[in-house]
Amino acid sequence: MDTASPQTGSLTSVEPQTATGGLSGRVVAVVGGSRGIGFAVARACVRAGATVAIIAREAGRLRKASHALGGVLTFRADVTQEMQTVRTFRVLGGQCGGLDALVNSAGTFTYKPFESTTAVDWNLNLKSNLTSVFMATRAALPLLIESQGQVVNILSISSRHAFAQCSAYTAAKFGALGLTRVLAEELRPKGIRVSAVLPGATNTRLVKAFGFPIEPERLVQPEDVAQAVLTVLLAPRHTTVAEIVVTPSGGSV
Please report how close the Cβ of residue 146 comes to ligand NAP at its closest, in angstroms: 23
Closest to ligand NAP by CB, 191 vs 250, is: 250
Please report how close the Cβ of residue 238 comes to ligand NAP at its closest, in angstroms: 28
Closest to ligand NAP by CB, 215 vs 239, is: 215
Q: How far is CA 163 from the centre of its chain?
A: 22
Nearest-angstrom CA–CA distance, 210 and 213: 9
Closest to ligand NAP by CB, 172 vs 241, is: 172
Binding site for ligand NAP (CB under 6 A): 31-32, 34-38, 55-58, 61, 78-80, 105-107, 109, 128-129, 132, 154, 156, 199, 201-202, 204-207
Q: Which of 169, 187, 193, 219 is catalytic?
A: 169
Closest to ligand NAP by CB, 29 vs 154, is: 154
Q: Are 59 and 6 in contact (CB under 8 A)?
A: no
Please report how close the Cβ of residue 131 comes to ligand NAP at its closest, in angstroms: 8
111 is catalytic: no
Please report how close the Cβ of residue 191 comes to ligand NAP at its closest, in angstroms: 26
Show which residues are catalytic. Answer: 169
